[in-house]
């Protein structure tokens, strides 16, 4: 992905929904194609037909479930951005946990807690990977120490504590 930046907030919901649908539909399509191929009766023709049927029926459904997840996640994320007035990884982690909890709401409180933990941990992993990647990428492009003739002119850089998220 070249220079893919996230959209500003209300539109981010639509964007995330679409991204999640794409992910689910394509991933589910591949998975279901293999599964349908293996579960069909013997014969290449039968197997291909079974694979096609499985993809046609299941891939859009899986995409839809992913889209619900992504849309709800993004809605909570945007609400938190609005309420807290800042964007940081905690927003994503909290909204992942809340999304998991809400979508498991009909399975009882125990399932809600488990699902929330899953969502939170998953999003924490993703955010952590993003931060690590940004750190790693930023170490590649440092300018090196600025050498000065007079040591008394040295000053600490003004934004030394600046950490870039996302």
Partner 1 sequence: MSPLSPYLNLDPKYLVQDTDEFILPTGANKTRGRFELAFFTIGGCCMTGAAFGALNGLRLGLKETQNMAWSKPRNVQILNMVTRQGALWANTLGSLALLYSAFGVIIEKTRGAEDDLNTIAAGTLTGMLYKSTGGVRGIARGGIAGLTLTGLYALYNNWEHMKGSLARQSL
Q: Which residues bind partner 1 (CB under 8 A)?
A: 3-4, 7, 11, 13-19, 21-22, 25-26, 52, 56, 59-61, 63-64, 67, 70-71
Residue 88: CB minimum distance to partner 1, A: 23
CA distances, 119 to each of 47, 97, 141, 142 (Å): 36, 5, 34, 35
Residue 142: CB minimum distance to partner 1, A: 20
Residue placing its CB nearer to partner 1 in the complex, 57 or 166: 57
Residue 54: CB minimum distance to partner 1, A: 13
What is the spatial distance between Cα 58 and Cα 65, in angstroms, rounded to a whole number? 11
CA distances, 157 to each of 39, 51, 124, 145, 146 (Å): 63, 60, 31, 11, 10
Residue placing its CB nearer to partner 1 in the complex, 59 or 123: 59
Residue placing its CB nearer to partner 1 in the complex, 15 or 121: 15
Residue placing its CB nearer to partner 1 in the complex, 22 or 79: 22
């Amino acid at each position: 992905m070249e220079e893919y930046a996230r959209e500003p907030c209300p539109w981010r919901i639509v964007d995330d929904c679409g991204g999640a649908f794409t992910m689910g539909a394509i991933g589910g399509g591949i998975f279901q194609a293999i599964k349908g191929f293996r579960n069909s009766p013997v014969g290449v023709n039968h197997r291909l037909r079974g694979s096609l049927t499985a993809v046609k029926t299941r891939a859009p459904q899986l995409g839809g479930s992913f889209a619900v997840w992504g849309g709800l996640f993004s809605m909570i994320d945007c609400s938190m951005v609005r309420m807290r007035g800042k964007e940081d990884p905690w927003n994503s982690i909290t909204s992942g946990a809340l999304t998991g909890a809400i979508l498991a709401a009909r399975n009882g409180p125990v399932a809600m807690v488990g699902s929330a933990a899953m969502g939170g941990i998953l999003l924490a992993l993703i955010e952590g990977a993003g931060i690590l990647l940004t750190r790693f990428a930023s170490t590649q492009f440092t300018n090196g120490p600025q050498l000065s003739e007079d040591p008394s002119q040295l000053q600490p850089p003004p934004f030394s504590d600046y950490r870039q998220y996302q």
